[in-house]
C-alpha cells in the first residue's frame, strides 16, 4: 500500500458549501480497502455530510481504532487532523482530546470488532460520560482486517464462508446504547447514502454522544449467502422506521410536513432535525418505546434503520463537569497556578 495524494480537480458548476469549498476538498487519500467494501461508501457519506455542513476541515478531528474501518479516516478530509490509535481504544483518546479542546468536532470511526469486543468497555464508558462526538461503527459482523473471524455483532445463525453458523447472542450497539442512555442513536446502511448523510449530519451537530451504527458489508469475508450482514440480506430486511432531514441554523423549514408523521427537533447548534416517521406509532424520544420496538422487530428478523432515539436535553461531558468554555489546551500556563507567594501560604499546612 502506498500514500497517494489525489489530485483535487474542480469543475465549474460543481456545488460549493458555505465556506466556498467543494465536496472534493473534503476528500482524503485513495482508499486501499477491497473494491466494493461497505466502508468506502460510508467514507463517501461522511465526505458528503461534512461538506454539506460546511465544516472547517481543520476544526474536525478524525479518530479511530484498528481495523479496515478504522483506516478510513485517512480517506476523508485530508486537511483534518487524524488520530488512528490502537485497537479498541478510540473512545478514550477521543474523550481526552475532547477534554482538552471542546471546540473541535469529533468523528470517531470504528468497527464492530474494535467497539464491541476489545473496546466494548471504552465504548460504553464514552456513552456514560456523554462525550460530545459522532461515533460511527462500520458494522460488518466480522473482523475484516484479520480475515473474517466472527465479531460480537454476528447474528445467531449467520454463516461464515465455510458454512459454520454463529450460535452466540449478538451484541447490538443500538440497543446497548439505548440502555446506556446515549443521547443520539441512529442506524444506517452503507448502501443507502440518501438516508445515511442526514443521519451523519444530525450526529455531527448533536451535542453529546451520537452513535451511528452502519451496516457496512465486508465483500471479502461476509457477503455470501447465509450471512446476515451481506448486501443482499440487508437490502431484503432493512426498514426505515424514520427518515430525517437536517436543516442548518441559517435555513428556514420550507417543506410542508404532514402532522403526526413528522417531528421537528431543535438542535443545540440552532439547526433543526425534521424527523419523518415511517411508522406513525414510533416514538424516538422514549427510551423504553425505542428499545421495545427494536427488540420486537429484530426478533422478527428486520433491520431497523433511521434516527432511533434522540435526547437534546442532556448535558455533555464538559457541562456535567462544569468546565470553562475556553478549550483547556488554550489556557496560558502562567494563569493556571497561584504563584510564588501563594506557594508559601499553601505550605503553612505542612508545618
- Select the residue interacting with Mg ion from 111, 188, 202, 208 (CB under 5 A): 111
- How far apart, in whole angstroms, are the C-alpha atoms of residue 72 and residue 92? 19
78 neighbors 43 (Cβ within 8 angstroms): no
Q: What are φ and ψ of residue 275, in 5° steps?
A: -105, 120
Q: Is the Cβ of residue 69 or residue 175 nearer to ligand TPP in the bound state?
A: 69
**Would you say how long the chain is, in residues?**
351
37 touches which of other proteins, ligand SF4, Mg ion, none (CB within 5 to 8 A by kind)? ligand SF4
Is 34 a binding residue for ligand SF4 by CB under 6 A? The answer is yes
- How far apart, in whole angstroms, are the C-alpha atoms of residue 329 and residue 348? 31
Is 161 a binding residue for ligand TPP by CB under 6 A? The answer is no
Q: How far is the CB of 333 from ligand SF4 (least distance, A)?
A: 44
Q: How far is the CB of 335 from other proteins (least distance, A)?
A: 8
3-state class of 41 per DSSP?
A: helix
By CB under 6 A, how many residues form the interface with ligand TPP?
18
- At 295, which helix (H) or strand (E)? helix 287-299
User: What is the footprint of other proteins within residues 285-344 (CB under 8 A)?
Assistant: 318, 321-325, 327-331, 333-334, 336-340, 342-344
User: What is the footprint of ligand SF4 within residues 206-225 (CB under 6 A)?
Assistant: 218-221
Q: How far is the CB of 259 from other proteins (least distance, A)?
A: 42
**DSSP state at residue 280:** T
Q: Is the Cβ of residue 249 or residue 338 nearer to other proteins in the bound state?
A: 338
170 neighbors 153 (Cβ within 8 angstroms): yes
3-state class of 32 per DSSP?
A: coil
Q: How far is the CB of 71 from ligand SF4 (least distance, A)?
A: 8
Amino acid at each position: 500500500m502506498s500514500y497517494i495524494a489525489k489530485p483535487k480537480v474542480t469543475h465549474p458548476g460543481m456545488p460549493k458549501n458555505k465556506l466556498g469549498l467543494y465536496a472534493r476538498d473534503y476528500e482524503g487519500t485513495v482508499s486501499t480497502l477491497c473494491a466494493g467494501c461497505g466502508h468506502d461508501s460510508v467514507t463517501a457519506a461522511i465526505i458528503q455530510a461534512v461538506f454539506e455542513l460546511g465544516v472547517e476541515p481543520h476544526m474536525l478531528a478524525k479518530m479511530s481504532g484498528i481495523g479496515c474501518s478504522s483506516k478510513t479516516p485517512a480517506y476523508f478530509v485530508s486537511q483534518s487532523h487524524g488520530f488512528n490509535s490502537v485497537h479498541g481504544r478510540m473512545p478514550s483518546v477521543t474523550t481526552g482530546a475532547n477534554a482538552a479542546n471542546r471546540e473541535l468536532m469529533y468523528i470517531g470511526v470504528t468497527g464492530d470488532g474494535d467497539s464491541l469486543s476489545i473496546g466494548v468497555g471504552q465504548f460504553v464508558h464514552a456513552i456514560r460520560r456523554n462525550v460530545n462526538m459522532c461515533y460511527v461503527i462500520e458494522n460488518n459482523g466480522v473482523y475484516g482486517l484479520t480475515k473474517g473471524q466472527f465479531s460480537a455483532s454476528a447474528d445467531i445463525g449467520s454463516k461464515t464462508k465455510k458454512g459454520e453458523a454463529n450460535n452466540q447472542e449478538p451484541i447490538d450497539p443500538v440497543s446497548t446504547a439505548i440502555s446506556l442512555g446515549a443521547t443520539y442513536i441512529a442506524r444506517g446502511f452503507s448502501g443507502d447514502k440518501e438516508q445515511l448523510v442526514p443521519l451523519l449530519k444530525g450526529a455531527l451537530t448533536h451535542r453529546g454522544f451520537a452513535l451511528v451504527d452502519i451496516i457496512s458489508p465486508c465483500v471479502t469475508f461476509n457477503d455470501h449467502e447465509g450471512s446476515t450482514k451481506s448486501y443482499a440480506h440487508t437490502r431484503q430486511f432493512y426498514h426505515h422506521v424514520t427518515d430525517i432531514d437536517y436543516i442548518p441554523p441559517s435555513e428556514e423549514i420550507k417543506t410542508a410536513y404532514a402532522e403526526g408523521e413528522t417531528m421537528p427537533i431543535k438542535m443545540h447548534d440552532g439547526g433543526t432535525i425534521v424527523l419523518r416517521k415511517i411508522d406513525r406509532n414510533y416514538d424516538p424520544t422514549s427510551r423504553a418505546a425505542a428499545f421495545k420496538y427494536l427488540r420486537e422487530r429484530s426478533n422478527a428478523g428486520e433491520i431497523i434503520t433511521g434516527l432511533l432515539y434522540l435526547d437534546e436535553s442532556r448535558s455533555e461531558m464538559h457541562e456535567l463537569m462544569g468546565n470553562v468554555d475556553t478549550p483547556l489546551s488554550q489556557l496560558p500556563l502562567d494563569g493556571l497556578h497561584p504563584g510564588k507567594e501563594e506557594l508559601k501560604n499553601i505550605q503553612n499546612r505542612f508545618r
